[in-house]
Structure 1
Amino acid sequence: MELKRMRSLWGVEAPLEEALPDFKTRGYQGIEVAVIFTPELENLAALCKDQNLEVIAQILTAFPGTPRTPKAHLQALKAQVELARPLEPILFNVQGGCDSWSELEQDQFYDAALRYASTLEAPLAFETHRGQPTFTPWTTARILQAFPEMRLTCDLSHWVNVCERLLEDQEDNIRLAAQHCIHIHVRVGYEEGPQVTDPSAPEFATHLTAHEQWWEWMWEAQMARGQQFSTLTPEFGPPGYQHTLPFSGEPVGQLDAICNWMAEKQLHHFNFWKSSIEISQ
């Protein structure tokens, strides 16, 4: 199993004609992009082809104005998948649904969404995310038990934030999520937020170690399933996701450097983990 590192366009301010060649030079194999907020998708598709960069299309069913009904979220999902087609994505990452839905409403949405997903050429994965039914380990576990065919994008920084702990009591639910995980957002969360100021800082070493252990469980499950490659995105966000100084609004840390540090760190982590697995076999 090989590792593909994807660079999110979230917070990228440089023109894409400059940014995409830089991503390629830094060793990224592709990009992840929220299609609903990205104009000129055909131009982006052409630029990606020029740089031989693959695309993960991010689908956001709860964008402003969407009624909080399963039917409306399903319609938004389908519309954005169609919008993303020029990108020829290798995966659809869906932030889908609403955290306040009843279990019946959740099941109505996922049943219809998964039937639709089965018609697509590229896999579709639902992200573990605040604001959606997958916002905790236990709500996600219930959904996975109801829909065992469901695939996940695992971003457990959200769970750390929601649960206000490093999930010490949630190993069974994390391992269950790992069995369904096909894409990972390698962002580090902490008890009071989904994004630490800098994952390389020593004060967050315990948090980074915990997240890296969870990512290893996901890689183990992917390898056991026979996946040809694993994808990850260092999805650290800009202000106001990123911490800023009061009054000036200056960001705490350099976003591009943080994303690149995490991408490089996890490449070395993956290679070390993989070599350890091979030696033990």
Structure 2
Amino acid sequence: MAQQFLVYQSMWAMERRCPDGLEWSLDEKLAMIRDAGFDGAGVRFADRSFVKPVTDFLRAHGLSWQAQAYPQTVDDLKPIIEHVLEFGADHLNVQPDVRPYRLEECFPLIDGWRRLAADAGIKMQIETHRNRMTTDLLFTLQLLDHYPDLRLTGDLSHYVVGREFWYPMTDVDQALMHRIIDNCWGFHGRVASREQIQLQLNFAQHQGWVAVFMAWWERGFRQWRAKAGANETLTFLCELGPPEYAMTGADGYELSDRWQESRQLMQQVRDIWHGVSTD
């Protein structure tokens, strides 16, 4: 069995949040994900009554999923672990919902979460994300000094906004980002700029940043292939979020078709993977 690449769609990204108030039903969202050709979905695992129908549908259609969690304490992860053991998941993605001032405050949490996941036999990754433990790029790099084997999920958009990187990127800034990327075991995907968390993929003025992110993901896929085992799976979650992640006009409607862009992003990263895996 060779290494695999799976592209998921975020359930959160299926929310419309439009002024007309119309939302797709859960069944409609899942059918859209299936029919678009995604390999599965990113699923928040907090509520069992939500997790069961979603994972039942995905499993019935030969799809898979990642479990997403937002713990504030070590114990917060215990019910999530129980849900993963019951329903399964490709891996557990943790957004640490704490904002520590000192590195030392992080250690008991990371150690506790890693211990729980290891004891349960569940693969776990820590996501890079604003307003979380990993909100600051330099703070996270210091965490990697302490935990060089820490498995990250790279949502790289947050560091572009958080650090307000200039475009074109300097060699120094690229080196900082490369160190994050080289610790990634999965990715959440959108394209950002120094001022906006989520850019429209096809606007001409955004193509410089689109190229930056595509190059980062290519590096990420290459470094993962070099370090992962022969039978392991890399996941990429398309996570083009609803407003206020998505830009809107004066009428409150989005400036582009986000569902179309999600399908486009799925194909773009699959093309990158194909190029990397056939070199």
> Which residue is equivalent to 1:265?
268
CA shift in 2, pair 1:53/1:244, >3 Å: same
> Which residue is equivalent to 2:135?
135
> Which residue is equivalent to 2:64?
54
Summarize deviations over 1:234-259 as a string: whole Å, max 9, x none.
1010112211123x321222221121
The answer to whether residue 118 in structure 2 is matched with residue 104 in structure 1 is: no
> Which residue is equivalent to 2:246?
242
Note the C-alpha offset of 1:179: 2.8
After superposition, where does 1:1-281 map in structure 2 within 5 Å? 1-12=3-14, 13-36=23-46, 39-61=49-71, 72-165=72-165, 168=170, 169-196=172-199, 198-227=200-229, 228-246=232-250, 248-275=251-278, 278=279
Moved more, 214-223 or 73-82: 73-82
**Which residue identity does 2:253 align to in structure 1?**
E
2:10 and 2:100 map into 1 onto residues whose CA distance is: 28
Does the 8 A contact of 1:134 with 1:140 survive in 2? yes
Summarize deviations over 1:72-104 as a string: whole Å, max 9, x none.
522222233323444311111111142343211
Note the C-alpha offset of 1:59: 0.5
Note the C-alpha offset of 1:131: 0.9
- Runs of 4 or more off by more than 6 Å in structure 1? none
1:170 and 1:115 map into 2 onto residues whose CA distance is: 33
Does the 8 A contact of 1:137 with 1:170 survive in 2? no
Summarize deviations over 1:153-207 as a string: whole Å, max 9, x none.
00110000000115532333323222321110121111112111x1122211110
1:108 and 1:87 map into 2 onto residues whose CA distance is: 27
**Which residue identity does 2:234 align to in structure 1?**
S
SS in 1 for 2:106: helix
Moved more, 75-84 or 116-125: 75-84
1:130 and 1:45 map into 2 onto residues whose CA distance is: 28
CA shift in 2, pair 1:84/1:14, >3 Å: farther
**Which residue identity does 1:210 align to in structure 2?**
V
Note the C-alpha offset of 1:122: 2.6
Computed over aligned residues only, the root mean square deviation of the Cα atoms, in angstroms, reads 2.0
2:189 and 2:108 map into 1 onto residues whose CA distance is: 30
- Equivalent residue pairs, number: 264
Summarize deviations over 1:21-78 as a string: whole Å, max 9, x none.
33223221111012236743222221111111101011012xxxxxxxxxx5222222
SS in 1 for 2:133: coil
Note the C-alpha offset of 1:20: 2.4
Identity %: 22
SS in 2 for 1:96: coil
SS in 2 for 1:101: coil
Does the 8 A contact of 1:55 with 1:87 survive in 2? no
SS in 2 for 1:74: coil
**Which residue identity does 1:239 align to in structure 2?**
P
SS in 2 for 1:119: helix
SS in 1 for 2:73: helix
> Which residue is equivalent to 2:18?
none
Structure 1: which 5+ runs fail to align? 62-71
Does the 8 A contact of 1:126 with 1:151 survive in 2? yes
Moved more, 260-269 or 21-30: 21-30
Normalising to structure 2: TM-score of the pair?
A: 0.87
